[in-house]
């Protein structure tokens, strides 16, 4: 993927962020996931008054892709107003589907803040190979 493709995903994540449901934290998060087949899935954080039932944007995008039969990912963008990083739960879900997936963290102005792999984001991740 080149810089223009990265920017396209960043823009999609920021557009999705506008649809986030965050009435409690007011921390709106959008995600855009590109699969290895080239399909793109977006996600937003969805809060709930019973806080443990809140779902992060990254997991929404990943679960949408998996529900459509996609399990090999190329890149995921996480966009927040301040370039916040994925939580531990999201890092673990990302690790399930590939440590080489590119993770892009962007701010609300569409600027790339960080680029790394899932492996760099979650070193020594617990993966399916540990269950053998």
Rounded to an integer, what distance in angstroms lies between the CA atom of residue 33 and that of residue 129? 24
The strand pairing partners of 44, in sequence order, are 30
- Please list the active-site residues: 58
The strand pairing partners of 73, in sequence order, are 35
Distances (CA, A) of 40 to 36, 37, 98: 10, 9, 16
Cβ atoms < 10 Å from Cβ of 128: 9
């Amino acid at each position: 993927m080149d810089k223009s493709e990265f920017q396209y995903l960043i823009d999609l994540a920021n557009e999705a962020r506008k649809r986030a449901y965050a009435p409690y934290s007011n921390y709106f998060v959008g995600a855009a996931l590109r699969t290895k087949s080239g399909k793109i899935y977006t996600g937003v954080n969805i809060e709930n008054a019973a806080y443990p039932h809140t779902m992060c944007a990254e997991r929404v995008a990943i679960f949408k892709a998996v529900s459509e039969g996609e399990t090999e990912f190329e890149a995921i963008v996480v966009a927040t107003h301040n370039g916040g990083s994925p939580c531990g739960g999201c890092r673990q879900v990302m690790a399930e589907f590939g440590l080489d997936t590119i993770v892009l963290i962007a701010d609300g102005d569409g600027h790339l803040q960080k680029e790394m792999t899932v492996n760099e984001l979650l070193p020594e991740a617990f993966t399916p190979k540990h269950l053998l």
